[in-house]
Amino acid sequence: MKKKLLIFLLGLPFLGYSQSFQVNLQGQKQIAMGGAGTGAALDEAAVFFNPGAVSFLKQNGVQAGISPIFLKTSFREAGSNITEHNKDKIATPVMGYAVFGSPAGRLRFGLGIYTPFGGAMHWDENWTGKYTVTSLDLRAIFVQPTVSYKITDHLGIGAGLVYSNGHVDLRRAVPLTLNNGQSGTGKLEGSTNDFGWNAGIYVETISGVSIGVTHRSSVNARVKSGTATFDVPDALISSFPTKFTATLPLPATSTIGFGFYPSEKTTIVFDVNWVRWSKYKDLSFDYDNNARIPDTKSPRNYHDAAALRLGIQNQTTAKLVLRAGVGYAFTPVGEGYVTPEVPDADRLLLSAGLGYKASKNFSVDLSFLYENVKARTETNIETNLNGSFKSLVYIPGIALTYKW
Amino acid sequence: MKSKFIIRNILAVAVVAMASCKPEFKEVTPNKGTADFTRYIAVGNSLTAGYADGGLYLEGQQNSYPEMISGQMKTVGGGAFYSSFFNTNQADGSGYLRIKSLSASGLPVTETVTGNLAVRGQITLPQVGAVTLYTKFSGDLNNYGVPGIRLTDIDNPAYGNANGFFERLLPAASPGNTTSYLSFITAKPWTFFSLWLGNNDALGYATSGGVGGVLTDKARFSSVYNTVAAALTGTGAKGIVATIPDVLATPYFNTVTLASLLAAVRVSAPTVQALYIQTATGTRAATAQDYFVLTLGSANVIGVPNGAGLPYGLHPLNPIESKYVLDQAEAAQVTDYVNTYNATIKSVAAAKGLALMDAYALLKEYGAGKTVNGATVSAAYITGNLFSLDGIHLTPLGYAIVANAFIKSINTQYGASIPIVDVTKYRGVKFP
């Protein structure tokens, strides 16, 4: 049995997720099933995946989880024989959900805290692309109070208001040489406070298949008064800005998901996401002092992109659930627009996980997600950085749940 | 019990996967193609020596393009490479410029670094004048870059007495040398060469506003170029030659302009309409087609009254001296000669089957403004990152761009795959 389990974990394609700086780590069960879960009332994370399914949850509960992201990216400049690697820096998106109300009633309430967008990319301070970026830390934490209403025994709707709290820290080298021979550096840091929404419909059909349709709105993350810190030669420092404004559009995502129940113990979930990345036309920084550096408008020209996610879970024993999934996310980044802060490409997602019910109220879920981002070789149209990127991502995760 | 085991296994798999797997690309194996880089020699002038900021000093020597190229050649069987480095206790070499501060208009106020010079004396030669002599260098040498040398000088056996940078490399003290540059560089066998000579055959005339130096006769240029190319390829060695950059596209001729001079004058004399320049055909008002040299900016002569009370440059009877101006006719002459020299270089490259690095085109392209790995470079003085403080020679970043152009041409011509250098590892102009 143990051996079988190990073979299962090693050999089966498991789940996955993520696309550009969208982070799809919102629930350990769903992570373990390729990131799918919109079409099933799985657990408290339905607050994120489908507010319409929250009213179908059989118990109330709270859960908290974390999914540290181990991102390994390599770059090789065209014509060079040197491969450069990003630094081992771990991003730690957290997630927490609570669902209240009477499970017997039609109206339920939920609260979710999750990180749908983010990134942590750290290159060596003196790497080949240092004038494009040396590090990016980006996160948008969403807090979402939610109402879910069961219109009939087979149809539920739900909606939540999203408050988004964002933080960005972007650093790069500045092509001005300090007296010690080192290049200057610049740091742009700011926070954002914005609003959006999340709504969904959940249907349990007569055929036994459940269907979920959701839409998460876009959020314009506006840095209204960011701090620009430049380490440049003293003779020039007065001509550099100290403040900036910028807007990063966090795209809307529409999802249709299905739940299939081939046996009492087995659930299969399948999601299709459509992410409206085309909103992300450019990354612009407006500075308060343009004497030395002009406002920048870096073209991104993302296009809308889909992600497909398929997952399965099996109630192996009374206490143990095994999960696996596979996914494929199409990149929204067109040729010539790949940047080292988010070296995106089409990616394959494999995932696995398990759930263990330790007691009547308490359970733990583990997941592991592997993302293989395709290698990509091209010249960026803005920076002329010319070379190949290749990324692998490893994301273990754990969540603790208390139900009552 | 069972669950613990499972969890342990999952953790083990996860940890192994995360620790082991950095993405790797297909292995690159640089190869030398049909060339042999066992002993690479670099033949050239100041640009080859690593001259920058108006001087030759250790940091510049270390960041010369031949040093960069030879470092990359080591991946394809290149041998040891030696430059005539100044000792670290004489690292300031001939002395060089650095920025002391910036003026209100953003132009640098420069000063000369003279702390640890390698100057050993001075000698005055008849018909040549004063020659500064430097601490001798003896030892293996691959970088034969000699600042100031013209193509037309290379077969002159007495030249080693008149150029302190060449004298430094020769065994005898000036005026006792009788070895020509061509003899010197061909004394020891080589397998590969780079040849970037000819710049000074036009540069001296241009930078002196047509007053000092003469343009080397076109036929003479062609003759000597064929001689040196024949000598370098005569033993069967392969190599690369480079064209002469457009000197008129350097910051030396584009920083001080008629517009910038008039703007400065009009601060105190708003009615001034013209500046007067001295030309070969007489005094006339300057136009936008005339070039002013960089050093006019710091000479502080404009508007200074002469004995008759006439302000310098503002009155036809006290014009800006010819040494500060490369007038339209002179500039046309420089362009004509450089184009002819380059035609010679290209035809020799083609005839001998040599690789060609078109420095004229390269520096035009980058000088016009180009983004390199996210850094903008251009021919703008000090802020362009391409040209050093003298406005003619390159920064380490500029030399790195040149080195990669050499490498790419060598790779193309000889089917080699020498890896390029990372240009972002090299600095631009240092600011205080």
- Which amino acid is residue B375, in one-letter code? A
A 252-271: CB under 8 A from B: none
Angle at B85 between CA B83 and CA B90, to 5 degrees: 170
Percent of chain A with pLDDT over 70: 96
Per-residue pLDDT tens digits for B374-400: 999 999 999 999 999 999 999 999 999
Name the token pair of B293: 């040299």
pLDDT over threshold 70, residue B4: no
Judging contacts by C-beta atoms under 8 Å, the chain A residues touching residue B425 are: 126
Contact B292, B276 (CB under 8 A): no
pLDDT over threshold 50, residue A56: yes
Q: Hey, how many other C-beta atoms are within 10 angstroms of the C-beta on B306?
A: 11
Per-residue pLDDT tens digits for B52-96: 999 999 999 999 999 999 999 999 999 999 999 999 999 999 999
Per-residue pLDDT tens digits for B149-179: 999 999 999 999 999 999 999 999 999 999 9
> Is B370 within 8 Å of A384 when comparing Cβ atoms?
yes
**Chain A nearest CA to B133, separation (Å):** 29
> Is B374 within 8 Å of A73 when comparing Cβ atoms?
no
Per-residue pLDDT tens digits for B301-319: 998 999 999 999 999 999 9
Q: What is the DSSP letter of B430?
A: B
**What is the SS3 assignment for chain A?**
CHHHHHHHHHHCCCCCCCECCECCCCCHHHHCCCCCCCCCCCCCCHHHHCHHHHHHCCCCEEEEEECCEEEEEEEEECCCCCEEECCCCCECCEEEEEEEECCCCCEEEEEEEEEEEEEEEECCCCCCCCCCCCEEEEEEEEEEEEEEEEEECCEEEEEEEEEEEEEEEEEEEEEEECCCCCEEEEEEEEEEEEEEEEEEEEEECCCCCEEEEEEECCEEEEEEEEEEEEECCHHHHCCCCCEEEEEEEECCEEEEEEEEEEECCEEEEEEEEEECHHHCCEEEEEECCCCCCCCEEEECCCCCEEEEEEEEEEECCCCEEEEEEEEEECCCCCCCCCECCECCCCEEEEEEEEEEECCCCEEEEEEEEEEEEEEEEEECCCCCCEEEEEEEEEEEEEEEEEEC
Q: Could you tell me which residues come within 8 angstroms of residue B431 by beta carbon, excluding any fewer than 6 positions away?
A: A176, A177, A178, A179, A232, A233, A234, A235, A236, B99, B102, B382
Judging contacts by C-beta atoms under 8 Å, the chain A residues touching residue B427 are: 177, 181-183
Q: Tell me which of A369, A392, A393, A395 to substitute to probe the interface with B (most B C-beta atoms closer than 10 Å).
A: A392
Distance CA B312, CA B306 (A): 7
Asked if A238 is an interface residue toward chain B (Cβ–Cβ < 8 A), one would say no
Judging contacts by C-beta atoms under 8 Å, the chain A residues touching residue B28 are: 76, 81
Closest chain A residue to B16, measured at CA? A394
User: Helix-strand-coil percent breakdown of chain B, rounded to 5?
Assistant: 40, 20, 45
Mean residue pLDDT of chain A comes to: 92
Judging contacts by C-beta atoms under 8 Å, the chain A residues touching residue B10 are: 9, 352, 354, 366, 368
**Chain B nearest CA to A149, separation (Å):** 37
Asked if A222 is an interface residue toward chain B (Cβ–Cβ < 8 A), one would say no
Judging contacts by C-beta atoms under 8 Å, the chain B residues touching residue A352 are: 10
* Domains parsed from chain B with CATH numbers: 40-246+328-425 (3.40.50.1110), 258-326 (no CATH)
Closest chain B residue to A235, measured at CA? B432
Distance CA B331, CA A158 (A): 77
- Domains of chain A, residue spans: 2-403
Q: From the list A76, A126, A394, which residue is nearest B25 (CB)?
A: A76
A 294-353: CB under 8 A from B: 319-320, 352
Distances (CA, A) of A285 to A244, A296, A302: 6, 5, 18
CB pairs under 8 A between A and B: 144
Please provide the CATH number assigned to the domain covering A2-403.
Answer: 2.40.160.60
Contact B399, B421 (CB under 8 A): no
Burial zone of A152 (CB within 10 Å; 0-12 exposed, 13-18 middle, 19+ buried): exposed
Q: Once rounded to an integer, what is the mean pLDDT over residues B335-363?
A: 98
Q: What is the DSSP letter of B193?
A: E
pLDDT at A10: 38
* Maximum mean pLDDT: which of A13-22, A289-298, B101-110: A289-298
Judging contacts by C-beta atoms under 8 Å, the chain A residues touching residue B75 are: 81
Helix (H, G, I), strand (E, B) or coil at B121: strand
Q: What is the DSSP letter of B152?
A: G
Lowest mean pLDDT among A335-349, B9-23, B42-56, B398-412: B9-23
Q: Tell me which of B9, B10, B376, B426 to substitute to probe the interface with A (most A C-beta atoms closer than 10 Å).
A: B10
Residue with tokens 């009492």: A264
Per-residue pLDDT tens digits for A225-263: 999 999 999 989 999 999 999 999 999 999 999 999 999
Judging contacts by C-beta atoms under 8 Å, the chain B residues touching residue A5 are: 6, 9
A 352-371: CB under 8 A from B: 352, 354, 356, 366, 368, 370
Lowest mean pLDDT among A136-140, A152-156, B9-13, B120-124: B9-13
